[in-house]
Structures are given as C-alpha cells and as structure tokens.
C-alpha cells in the first residue's frame, strides 16, 4: 500500500468534526484518522480508543449504533479489549475499548476471603 494523500483523508476529517460536535461529551483516550482495507478497497477511517474501562466503549457503541453481536472481545494477558465497527455519516469508524479482566467467581471468592 502506498501512502495516501491528505486530500484522500479529508472526508474523514470532516466527519471527525461532526463526531466532536455531536458526541463531544463522550470519553476518548485517543482518536486517529487512518486508511483501512475494507470490502476489497482502501478507505479512510476514524479510529477511537478508550482505555478507562469497557463502560466507555459501550457508550460509543450505543451512540454509533454498533450491533452488540458484532463486537469482538479479546482477552489480553492483563486486560481485555472490545472492538466494534460501523459507518457513520459515510465514514468507516472503529471503536476499541480496553479494561481490566473480569473476575471469575473463584477470584471474587478469593478476594473476599483475603
């Protein structure tokens, strides 16, 4: 893949401004515009990351209308992540959320007993 021109990413930059206007109250740790490969083509996308827990991810998922059944859950060594994707105002959007691993029943029992 060759580098994209700034003009090619311009539509996503406009949509980013709309996101800020409509959802400026929502938490975000990092936000970027990049080129992604979807449906056999390269296209501009907005990538939103939240690192303060999966509740923040859920807030973004709900307002963007990302179907809960399409969310991917990944378990990392010391945390978990969720990823959802959608189109909003004609631009591809990926939302990534990171949070602590949920405790199992045994872990909860051990924490209470300790």
**This prediction's pTM:** 0.81
**73: which strand partners?**
82
Instruction: Give a yes or no: residue 31 inside a domain.
Output: yes
Whether the pLDDT of residue 106 is over 70: the answer is no
Neighbour count for residue 85 (Cβ, 10 Å):
19
Instruction: Give a yes or no: residue 1 inside a domain.
Output: no
Q: How many domains are there within the chain?
A: 1
Give the span between the Cα atoms of 35 and 31, in whole angstroms: 13
Instruction: Give a yes or no: residue 23 inside a domain.
Output: yes
pLDDT band at 51 (very low <50, low <70, confident <90, very high): very high
Q: Which H helix or E strand runs over 49?
A: strand 41-50
Instruction: Give a yes or no: residue 99 inside a domain.
Output: yes
Whether the pLDDT of residue 114 is over 50: the answer is no
Instruction: Give a yes or no: residue 18 inside a domain.
Output: yes
- Rg of the chain over all Cα atoms, to the nearest angstrom: 17
The pLDDT tens digits of the residues spanning 1-35 come to 556 678 888 999 999 999 999 999 999 999 999 98
Q: Average model confidence (pLDDT) for the chain?
A: 86
* Burial class (CB within 10 angstroms; exposed 0-12, middle 13-18, buried 19+) of 60: buried
Give me the pLDDT at residue 113, please: 41
Host domain of residue 98: 6-113
Give the span between the Cα atoms of 105 and 108, in whole angstroms: 5
Instruction: Give a yes or no: residue 59 inside a domain.
Output: yes
């Amino acid at each position: 893949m060759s580098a994209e021109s700034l003009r090619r990413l311009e539509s996503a930059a406009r949509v980013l401004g709309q996101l800020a206007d409509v959802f400026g109250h929502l938490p975000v740790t990092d936000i970027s515009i990049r080129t992604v490969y979807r449906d056999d083509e390269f296209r501009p996308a907005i990538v939103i990351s939240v690192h303060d827990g999966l509740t923040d991810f859920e807030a973004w998922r709900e307002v963007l209308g990302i179907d809960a059944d399409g969310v991917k859950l990944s378990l990392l060594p010391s945390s978990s992540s969720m990823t959802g994707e959608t189109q909003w105002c004609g631009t591809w959007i990926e939302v990534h959320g990171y949070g602590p691993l949920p405790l199992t029943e045994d872990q909860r029992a051990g924490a209470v007993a300790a």
